[in-house]
Amino acid sequence: MFTTDTCCTLVPYFEIHEGQFAAFKALGPKFVERTSTENGCIHYAFSFSGNTAHCREGYIDAEAVLAHLQNVDELLGEALKIAKIIRLEVHGPATEIEKLKAPMASLNPLFFVLEPGIRRASEA
């Protein structure tokens, strides 16, 4: 069974300041714990390559993205003291992207509009 795909993914990459890798990595579990309370989160985790961190995150729709950003605002502020966002992508259907453009403008993301496809209604 397939369903209409309203999923939005955030694709941020952080460049961690020299000497701050351990401090940034220590924030990961705090982000995960905070995000685990969000009903609209599909997946959320950090991965690392050298001094670059990526947060793999997906949400059921634009409203869930905005709720997440509000929920982690304080932690993101801490992260941005020891790292900088070097690239931020937002992927989602056009209707969901339109809901995110104005609220996310200050983060200067690249918006990618998802073409129609398929999404399983439940995990196999």
Which pLDDT score is estimated for 111?
98
**CA 56 to mean position of chain CA atoms:** 6
Confidence category of residue 43, pLDDT binned at 50, 70, 90: very high
Whether pLDDT at 69 is above 90: yes
pLDDT at position 7 over 70:
yes
Do 121 and 7 contact (CB within 8 A), yes or no?
no
Mean pLDDT score, 69-88 = 97
Is the pLDDT higher at 116 or at 79? Answer: 79
Q: Which amino acid is at 23?
A: A
